[in-house]
Structure 1
Amino acid sequence: MTMGQSYPHILLVCQSVQGHLNPSFQLANNLISAGARVTLATTVSGFHKLKSLPPIHGLSFASFTDGHDDDNHAIWNPGYAYDIERFASESIGTLVKTLSENGNKVNLLVYTLYLPFAADVARDLNVPSALFLIQSATCFSIYNRFCNRGDGIVAVNNDINTSVTLKLPGLPMFKWNDLPTFVLPTYPRFSDMCYVYQDHMNVLEEDSNACVLVNTLDGLEPDSMKSIKNSIVVGPLVSSTFSDNKGSCFEWLDSKQENSVVYVSFGSLAVLTKTQKVELLHGLMKTQRPFLLVLRDVGEVDEDVEIKQLKEKVSEYGLIVGWCAQLEVLKHSAIGCFVTHCGWNSTLESLAAGVAIVGCPQFSDQTTNAKMVEEVWGNGVRAFLDEEMVVKRDEIKRCLDVVMDGGERAKDIKKNVEKWRKVAEESVKDGGSLQTNLKLFLKNIS
């Protein structure tokens, strides 16, 4: 900012699950670098997570109530979408007013997925708003196709079944198991999620000036970006861990050959069944490749006996930990492949780090991301799930052989991996598209 210019103040509100907080924190950090002040707010129950973030000049924290201040897991309750709208609408409105009364007028309210009502709060207070997409542009295009109030599939068809298909411009056909699970009637909170996404679409349809900030890469989703009005690329929003504790695995990784290690992690929300753990451990053993496996149940006193014995058996091949600094791990020269649930943050981190993916999606947007990885971006393969939604040991071995055996397909994947790594590198450097786009965006904020 030049002398005489004020720093616009942005209130950024998000859910408290890690997959929402991480990109929101990174957006806040980049907005500050581009010349803004930011207040990052999340639910009261998740506010302790903000306190663990590193201090940044120009960044402050706040909270709002979702009506479940003492319940960290309320987001999974049936009807939560209605609860948070009812309680958080008033709470966020009060926060905007309080900030203003304290000399911190809010110039823009940015809200993430699942908080569409925040746009109504902003409008009632004469504050402009913008949606921050923490999932892919492709997924949002699918949500729009299903949930827009005009010709949305949900709006005109009450009998969606497994035969449903969807064709979007420039992309292959999406079948039932390629679509985000949130838009499928088999998902337990289908009605809640449809309500949320229909609200998002209504907001964007009613406000011709509504802006959408998309955490993606330049050129990664060109057709989907075109389908989102007033969309701006603000990614990839990836960063190092917030903690000085990087985990205990790096000395072990340093002892391994370049591109030899299989890194396996299924994110902060996915819960693996015993059957899936057994198949995963057997599959990793069958490959006889060194692996680093993140399992959040490490150290549990009541750990299943069979799983415990299997872990001991596979220890000659790999290392099992309860947590690690993922981006730092992905950037380590020993890593040759990432077996992942294909959550959007993990997908972007693998693209930025230049690591091939074996996608084992479970729910939400993961199914769509895994399809794009294999069929569109070409930076990995998608594992086949059986009728019990389990990736069998032979399938795990097959996918790892495809990606790491040095054959023609492995070479094509490696070529695409390197292409997207360079795109990501160009995007985040000084003067890159991320910095440039955010500076242009801030110019339009009064």
Structure 2
Amino acid sequence: MSPPRPHFLVLTFPLQGHIAPALRLARRLLAVAPDVLVTFSTTEAAHQRLFPAKRQQEEDGRGDGDGDGGRLEFAPFSDGTEGGYAGGSDAGAFHAYMASFHAAGARSVGALVDALAARGRPVSRVVYTLMLPWAAVVARGRGVPSALYWIQPAAVFTVYHHYFHGHAGAVAEHRRRGYPSSVVELPGLAPLAVGDLPTFLTESTDPADYFHAVFLTFRDLFDTLDREAPKATVLVNSCRELEVGALAAVGPHDVLPVGPVLPSGDETSIFKEDGARYMEWLDAKPASSVVYVSFGSLATMAREQLDELLLGLEEGRRPYLLVVREDNKAALTGEAEMGARLENGLVVEWCDQVRVLAHAAVGCFVTHCGWNSVAESVASGVPMVGVPKVSEQSMNARLVERGWRVGVRARVDGGGVLRAAELRRCVEEVMGDGAAAAEVRRMAQEWKRVVAEATGNGGSSYCNLVGFVDSARSVS
């Protein structure tokens, strides 16, 4: 009797910035090992938004496969709610949702693992993203190995590790003094300004903070890693070549850089795209001429910020593609006024960012510096203007500007608004005719080559992922 095929259960939090890298990893596992099985799972509400056609198939009894001969399946878990988290500014409601997510999620995933085993599809390895520390506990209770999929750079993992292993007091003292430019030293890392540390470690430690539940989740996550025996396995969505120093300082865990994990085809999103309109628009533009502007799937945009963006982009006289999500449309002016202002650009609600960044017309990416966006831009060789706001985005911007020298970081005013003049200055620094801009573009192309080699067959990230699959095969 042949041994069971390796089966990976990939679990993720129901946000686009978590779903995208998790689903990419699921498909990448299938690509590097034709004998493996993968089940992808997020909450029921997110599942329904992501896969409405699959939901109909399930209701019709037609299965939940993905056209891979059943190798990839989709099975949601419950977060204890009917419609997921509704958003809003009520911290209490968010904290209540997180408590429900943790408790109900653990019960539901446990039942899912049992159900898969009963179907003759036993899970051989659970892979979970940042916000699911309980997934490792569920796996351990069933004798199944688990691995954390860290969807941020290794440098950020290292910061969190050292914070929760003896350095929280030093960070808290700097924060208490109110000096964001104060320098904190963590083992193995270059000195960091406190203001560049993840905001969940500098602001959300306060129980009154909106994201305090996120801080507690990260604390539990690193406590969970410490309990893994003989040591935790951590997959990082980065490559060795990008983060040599950080990877040498990550602590006692078995850390495997397997990225940047990019999509292998069209992506599934919880947001509705504007079709092919923007691609046709890009096709008509000269090479490296377009400024692409997107602040990701979460950031909100006030009317003042949108006005400054449009002013700076129009005065820059370069063609631009600006993403303004539907939930940010309150910042838009009337259709007629908006149309009159868009002399050089196109505004869309959402787009396939990887396709946009790969387009020859795109010469610059103005980004919030979420790690998915940064990794996609580096992999595409597109210089960046960083406008970080929350979480690890300032750390990512630091890597962009100082670590890899593929972009610049914009300065915002006291209210956090990127002004038009600053936007024009930064875009010129990466798209202009000067020697500094030329060097940024040269470095962007060099890192594009490095990432392509790392993720290609035989590259460092490719080999790490194959080794991870082989380790699951040996125990399945």
1:237 to 261, 285, 288: 261
Residue aligned with 1:390, SS: coil
* C-alpha distance 222-69 of structure 1, shift in aligned 2 (>3 A): farther
Residue by residue, what CA displacement relative to the aligned partner does 1:292-349 show, whole Å, maximum 9, x if unpaired?
Answer: 111124996x7653x7566334322111122222111111111110011111111111
Q: Does 1:346 align with 2:373?
A: yes
Question: d(CA) in 2 for partners of 1:263 and 1:304?
Answer: 18
Residue of structure 1 in register with 2:231 after alignment: 209
Rate the CA distance shift 1:290–1:59 in 2: closer, same or farther, 3 A: same
Work out whether residues 260 and 334 of structure 1, in 8 Å CA contact, stay in contact via their aligned partners in 2: yes
Instruction: Tell me which amino acid in the other structure corresponds to 2:162.
Output: R
Q: Is the 8 A contact 2:309 2:423 kept in 1?
A: yes
The structure 2 residue matched to 1:193, chosen from 201, 209, 214, is 214
The answer (yes or no) to whether the contact 1:278–1:310 under 8 Å persists in 2 is no
In 2: Cα distance, 1:435 partner to 1:290 partner = 37
Verify the 8 A CA contact 2:11 2:40 in the aligned structure 1. yes
Which structure 2 residues correspond to residues 392-403 of structure 1 after superposition, within 5 A?
Answer: 392-403=419-430
Q: 1:262 aligns with which of 268, 291, 294?
A: 291
Q: Which amino acid aligns with 1:233?
A: P
Q: Distance in 1 between matches of 2:218 and 2:377?
A: 28
Q: Percent identity?
A: 37
Q: Secondary structure at the match of 1:279?
A: helix
What amino acid sits opposite 1:284 in the alignment? Answer: L
After TM superposition, the structure 1 = structure 2 runs for residues 9-408 of structure 1, keeping only pairs within 5 Å, are 9-35=7-33, 36-51=36-51, 55-57=67-69, 58-73=71-86, 77-148=94-165, 150-153=166-169, 160-163=176-179, 165-168=183-186, 171-185=189-203, 188-207=209-228, 208-228=230-250, 229-239=253-263, 240-242=265-267, 247-297=276-326, 304-305=332-333, 311-408=338-435
Deviation at 1:435, TM superposition (A): 2.7
3-state DSSP class of the match of 1:444?
A: helix
Please list every run of 5 or more consecutive structure 1 residues that lacks an aligned counterpart in the other structure: none
Deviation of 1:241 (Å): 3.1
Distance across 2 between alignment mates of 1:197 and 1:303: 33
Under a length normalisation based on structure 2, what TM-score does the superposition of the two structures give?
Answer: 0.86
Q: Contact 1:147/1:194 (CA < 8 Å) preserved in 2?
A: no
Cα distance, 1:169–1:377 mapped onto 2, change above 3 Å: farther
**1:56: Cα distance to partner?**
3.6
**What CA distance in whole angstroms lies between the structure 1 residues aligned with 2:177 and 2:302?**
26
Alpha carbons of structure 1 residues 216 and 191: separation in structure 2 relative to 1, 3 Å: same
Change (3 A) 1:120 1:161: farther
How far apart, in 1, do the equivalents of 2:409 and 2:169 lie? 26
AA at the equivalent of 1:382: R
Seen in structure 2, the aligned counterparts of structure 1 residues 303 and 269 have a Cα distance that, compared at 3 Å, is: closer
Taking only aligned residues, the RMSD between alpha carbons, in angstroms, comes to 2.6
Shift of 1:176: 3.2
**What CA distance in whole angstroms lies between the structure 1 residues aligned with 2:259 and 2:219?**
25
Partner of 2:62: none
Equivalent pair of 1:134/1:344 in contact (CA under 8 Å): yes
CA distance in 2, matches of 1:443, 1:234: 14
- Aligned pair in 2 of structure 1 residues 146, 168: CA closer, same or farther (>3 Å)? closer
In 2, Cα distance between equivalents of 1:299 and 1:133: 29
Do the aligned residues in 1 keep the contact of 2:295 with 2:367 (CA within 8 Å)?
yes
Alpha-carbon separation, structure 2, partners of 1:249 and 1:214: 32
Cα distance in structure 1, aligned partners of 2:244 and 2:96: 35
Is the CA contact (8 Å cut-off) linking 2:236 and 2:257 kept in structure 1?
yes
Residues 88-122 of structure 1 deviation map (CA, whole Å, 9 limit, x = unaligned): 11111111111111111111111100101111111
User: In the alignment, does 2:466 pair up with 1:439?
Assistant: yes
1 CA distance for matches of 2:97 and 2:171? Answer: 22
Cα distance in 1 for residues equivalent to 2:199 and 2:167 = 20
Give, in whole Å, the separation in 1 of the partners of 2:378 and 2:224: 31
Structure 2 spans left out of the alignment, 5+ residues: 55-65
- For the Cα contact (< 8 Å) 2:274–2:349, is it kept in 1? no
Instruction: Give the SS at the match of 1:249.
Output: helix
Q: Write out per-residue CA displacement over residues 375-395 of structure 1, whole angstroms, 9 at most, x where no aligned residue.
A: 111110000011101111110
Distance in 2, Cα, partners of 1:264 & 1:155:
33
Range 20-29 or range 407-416, more displaced: 407-416
Alpha-carbon separation, structure 1, partners of 2:274 and 2:417: 33
Q: Matched residues in 2 for 1:434 and 1:377: separation?
A: 18
More helix by proportion, 1 or 2?
2
Conserved 8 A contact 2:188-2:249: no
The structure-2 alpha-carbon separation of the partners of 1:46 and 1:152, relative to structure 1 and needing over 3 Å to count, comes to: same
Q: CA deviation at 1:369?
A: 0.7
Query: 2:26 corresponds to which letter in structure 1?
Result: A
- Once residues 104 and 303 of structure 2 are traced to their aligned partners in structure 1, the CA distance between those partners, rounded to angstroms, is 38
> Secondary structure at the residue paired with 1:10?
strand
Structure-1-length-normalised TM-score: 0.92
Q: Which amino acid is 2:72 matched to?
A: L
Matched residue type, 2:161 = N
- Cα 1:381–1:308 change in 2 (3 A) is farther
Alpha-carbon distance in 2 for matches of 1:61, 1:37: 11
Distance 1:406 1:22 in 2: 36
Amino acid in the other structure paired with 2:307? V
